[in-house]
Amino acid sequence: MTQSSVSSQREYVTVFFNGEAYRVPKGLTIMKALEYAGFRFTRGSGCRGGFCGACPVIYRLPGDYKVRVGLACQTAVVDNMYISLIPYVPLVEYVPRREEIKPDAGYVLKLFPELSRCVSCNSCSKACPQGLSPMDAVQAVLRGDLRKAADLTFDCIACGLCSLRCPAEIRHHAVFRLVGRIIGLYYIPRSKSVEERVRDIESGKYNEAFKKLLSMPVNEVRKIYEEYMKSGRLPEFLEVK
């Protein structure tokens, strides 16, 4: 089959991006369709695998009044889809140092008082491209069950779509990040090997190796990395016992 016969069999759809119409191949994700149409992502794109949360998008489908949300890298285009990208969901948050963090829901509420405005409308959960239930997590925080809230939001990718749809203006992803930190600090047993390694780093055990590595040309570092990925072996100067 020749290239031209392949492309003549291709099906195309029309999508509207910021109000302008573009013909793009059917089956592409919104992100790939926009690139096909000639746009270049300089922000709003990261992993392209549905994990980093950088590509939230809102759209409407033909014959449907609903405003839908999704990830541009995961949502396939359909004919006559109206699309708008959301490059960033604004977030203002105070990020406490770990010594300040207290393991109780009252502390979380003090930093995020808007949590108490939750009316359980479920708009956040309907918006979550990860299929999580931010609403249940918010309710768990309000009941004082931080563990439950952390479990429910472990897969949060902080895209901010829940926050965008929330009539109570809750900063969900920041709340969940704090809850995760509380659980990590106070409830999860510490790893002895990590503590040991941190002590080694602080004592300067790896200073020489780091210095040498940082002074090497990038292609040398790349070779070391490639060799390590192939064989699991490091050059002698990096084998610090």
Binding site for ligand FES (CB under 6 A): 45-48, 50-55, 71, 73
Least Å from the CB of residue 5 to ligand FES? 33
Q: Return the number of the residue (24 or 140) whose C-beta is nearest ligand FES.
A: 24
Give Rg (Cα) of the chain: 24
Q: Return the number of the residue (140 or 173) whose C-beta is nearest ligand FES.
A: 173
For residues 134 and 126, give the distance between their C-alpha atoms in angstroms, rounded to a whole number. Answer: 9
Q: Return the number of the residue (31 or 108) whose C-beta is nearest ligand FES.
A: 31
Least Å from the CB of residue 236 to ligand FES? 38
Least Å from the CB of residue 28 to ligand FES? 14
Q: Return the number of the residue (129 or 137) whose C-beta is nearest ligand FES.
A: 129
Least Å from the CB of residue 210 to ligand FES? 30
**CB-CB contact of 120 with 135 (8 Å):** yes
The vertex-73 CA angle with 118 and 137, nearest 5°, equals 20
Dihedral (CA of 73, 75, 79, 83) sign: negative
Q: Return the number of the residue (152 or 159) whose C-beta is nearest ligand FES.
A: 159
DSSP letter for 151, please.
H
Other beta carbons within 10 Å of 86: 16
Q: Return the number of the residue (112 or 176) whose C-beta is nearest ligand FES.
A: 176
Task: Give every CB contact of residue 156 below 8 A, 6+ residues apart in sequence.
Answer: 130, 132, 134, 172, 173, 176, 177
Report how far apart, in Å, the C-alpha atoms of 45 and of each of 41, 50, 74, 173, 204 are.
Answer: 6, 10, 11, 18, 37
**Which residue in this structure is represented by tokens 């008082």?**
113
Least Å from the CB of residue 74 to ligand FES? 6
Least Å from the CB of residue 122 to ligand FES? 23
